[in-house]
A = this chain, B = another copy of it.
Amino acid sequence: MNLPSKITICEVGLRDGLQNEAKILQTSEKLEIAKDLIDAGFKVIELGSFMSPKAVPQMADTDELYKQLNQVDEVELRALIANKKGVERAINCGCRKVKINVSASRGHNLANLNMTPEESVAGFKEIVDMAAEHGIEVSGSISMPFGSPWEGKIPLEDVQSIVEAYLNVGVSEISLSDASGMAVPNQVYEMCSKMKERYPQVKWWLHFHNTRGMAMANIIAAMQAGMTQFDSSFCGLGGCPFVPGAAGNVSSEDVVHMMDEMGIETGIDIVKLIELSKKVRQMVGHDTDSYILKAGRSKDLIKK
Task: Give residues in A with beta carbon < 8 Å to B.
Answer: 1, 3, 107, 147-152, 180-182, 184-187, 189, 210-214, 216-217, 219-221, 224, 240, 242-243, 245-247, 251, 254, 257-258, 261-263, 291-292, 294-299, 301-303
Contacts and interface: CB of A to CB of B under 8 A. Distances in A.
Contact of A185 (B1, B147, B291, B303): B1
Which residue of A185, A247, A262 has the most chain B CB atoms within 10 A of its CB atom?
A185
A243 B301 contact: yes
Contact of A258 (B213, B245, B257): B213
Closest 6 CB pairs of A and B: A213-B291, A246-B295, A182-B298, A217-B217, A216-B217, A213-B254
Given A152-B299, A213-B216, A245-B294, 18 more contacts: A1-B185, A107-B303, A149-B301, A151-B302, A152-B302, A180-B301, A182-B298, A185-B258, A187-B261, A187-B262, A210-B291, A212-B298, A213-B251, A213-B258, A216-B216, A220-B221, A243-B295, A247-B295
Contacts of A303: 107, 149-150
B150 A294 contact: no
A263 B216 CA distance: 19
Contact of A186 (B212, B254, B262, B296): B262
A281 to B, nearest CB: 14
Contacts of A291: 210-213, 246-247
B294 A247 contact: yes
Contacts of A151: 302
Nearest to A209: B295
Nearest to A3: B186
A268 to B, nearest CB: 16
B1 A186 contact: yes
A72 B60 CA distance: 63
28 contacts: A1-B186, A1-B189, A149-B302, A150-B302, A150-B303, A151-B302, A152-B298, A180-B298, A181-B295, A181-B298, A184-B258, A184-B262, A185-B262, A186-B262, A211-B295, A212-B298, A213-B216, A213-B258, A213-B292, A217-B217, A217-B219, A220-B221, A243-B294, A243-B295, A246-B291, A246-B295, A247-B291, A247-B295
